């Protein structure tokens, strides 16, 4: 019995991870829950939250706080985020140069960097385009 439960949990976790890795919108737990229900109709929001926490503890996903709620990211390589204050979208920003500058300059001062979480905020190109 226990083996079955364990297998089921592993499957649920894999589905949640797949959902998260298939999108770059940095969804909320509610959004993930809606998608997960298409695969597992009887899954509960609590189960989704629990699995998200486990995935985060395992280092497989990131949890971002946009100031109001948690957003989740299936991308765990070093990257930055831009949050649009108009439409609430979160974008991935690739900037390897920025990583290098931060790491090397901090290292010189004796800090050992383990992770880096920079949040840019402002107006995204889509919202800016609308204003023109």
Contact set with Zn ion (CB under 5 A):
73, 75, 84, 86-87, 92, 124, 127
Residue with tokens 């395992």: 58
Contacts of 67 (CB under 8 A, 6+ apart): none
| Residue 75 exposure: Cα atoms within 13 Å on the Cβ side | 17
Name the residue nearer to Zn ion (CB basis): 7 or 130.
Answer: 130
Nearest alpha carbon to residue 13 among 23, 5, 1, 24: 5
**Smallest distance from Zn ion to CB 56, Å:** 13
Taken as a whole, the chain contains a residue count of: 132
Rank residues 34 and 66 by Cβ distance to Zn ion and give the closer one: 66
Residue 7 C-beta: closest distance to Zn ion, Å: 30
CB of 79 to Zn ion, least distance (A): 6
**CB of 118: closest distance to Zn ion in angstroms?**
11
Query: Read out DSSP for 13-42?
Result: HHHHHHHHHT--S--BHHHHHHHHHHH-TT
Nearer to Zn ion, 13 or 26 (CB): 26
Tokens of 66: 């946009």
Quick one: 30 or 92, whose CB is closer to Zn ion?
A: 92
């Amino acid at each position: 019995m226990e083996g079955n439960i364990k297998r089921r949990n592993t499957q649920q976790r894999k589905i949640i991870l797949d959902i998260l890795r298939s999108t770059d919108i940095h969804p909320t737990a509610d959004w993930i829950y809606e998608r997960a229900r298409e695969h597992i109709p009887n899954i509960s929001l609590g189960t989704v939250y629990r699995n998200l926490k486990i995935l985060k503890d395992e280092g497989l996903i990131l949890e971002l706080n946009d100031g109001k709620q948690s957003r989740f990211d299936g991308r765990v390589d070093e990257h930055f985020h831009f949050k649009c204050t108009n439409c609430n979208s979160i974008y991935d920003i690739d900037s390897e140069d920025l990583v290098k500058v931060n790491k090397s300059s901090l290292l010189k001062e004796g800090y050992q960097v383990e992770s880096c979480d920079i949040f840019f905020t402002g107006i995204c190109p889509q919202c800016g385009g609308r204003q023109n």
